[in-house]
Amino acid sequence: MLEPAKFGLFAAISWALILAPGPDMLYVITRGMAHGRRAGIVSAVGVICGILVHTTAAALGITLIFQTSAFAFLVVKYLGAIYLIYLGFKAWRDKITFSLQTSTSGVSSRILFWQGLLSNVLNPKIAIFFLAFLPQFVDQGNNQVPLQMAILGLTFACFGLCFLAVVGYSAGAIGGWLMRRPYYTQFLQRLAGGILIGLGVQLAFTER
């Protein structure tokens, strides 16, 4: 089963990444401001369901990679490490800009949910991220790797849902607060960027 120390580190890093403003937060805020609190919460649920699809795929995929060959493992390891380091430098350099719309045109909850879900499910970058991120906190000597990956993915999704649901419910206040405090978003972006770079370097030195 998961080691308590690794799980604690995973939880801390997950929250740091979740709190850093990004596309998911921006999507939920804009929908909440445009269509109300219910729309913000529904959008958050859709986004997290999309993440669950990727974490499930990562749990199954990484197990297959471990069981296939050393070469396949090396390819995934180095590609994942390069991608995490790239994301880290990108987060450090880029600035998140909020372009918040306040249209009051009606959109059904079903449409908002599916938009949030598909925005993540159809993004291959998210699949690569979880494939590189989750295995670093798994005890590879344990034969329950898929279960460990599933627990980590579900934990990350629960954290994300708790945070994004609050964001969606308070979209107007949070959106305005972030727009007035760009230094906050820049700090969190750089914190997340440093973490991603560190994870990428660690992954590059991980043994099969």
Q: What digits encode the pLDDT tens for the residues 137-159?
A: 887 777 677 788 889 999 999 99
What is the per-residue pLDDT across 63-94, written as a single tens digit (0 to 9) for each? 666 556 666 667 767 877 888 888 788 877 77
pLDDT score, position 97: 56
Tokens of 10: 């995973």
User: Nearest Cα to 116, choosing from 195, 40, 35, 37?
Assistant: 40
pLDDT, residue 63, reads: 61
Task: Please give the pLDDT value at position 98.
Answer: 53
Predicted pLDDT at 104 = 46
The ranges of the chain with pLDDT < 50 are 104
